[in-house]
Amino acid sequence: EEVDGTPAYKLRVTKANGDVVDLFLDQEYYIEFKADTKREVQGSEVEISTVFGDYKEVDGILFAHSMEVSFAGNPAGQVITINTIELNVEIDDDRFAMPEPKATEEEAGE
């Protein structure tokens, strides 16, 4: 299948919740460049199209650094730009520690 002039493989994926997504992979590089789905928004079914681009290599893996999302053919959607992707970054365990509960007014007054 050809999508916007790009030869593509089309994969229809059915998620566990029943949502269906059509993924389009570039036939030369096997990277996802478009995804189409339908989703219920405020009681109405809406077509959502996401175009992935600006692929850059990070630690030997290609990642899309831009995503353009449009709704039901409306070109005034969203553009998402990713500036930096870092893999396997060390994160201090303290970042995941639960905060101490604050004393209630009753406990604080005792």
Structure confidence at residue 38 as a pLDDT band (50, 70, 90): confident
Q: How far is CA 39 from CA 10, 21, 29, 57, 68, in A?
A: 19, 10, 29, 31, 17
pLDDT > 90 in the chain, percent: 57
Assess whether pLDDT exceeds 70 at residue 108.
no
What tens digit of pLDDT does each residue of 8-33 get? 999 999 989 888 999 999 999 999 99
What pLDDT was estimated at residue 110? 57
Pick the more confident residue, 47 or 4: 47
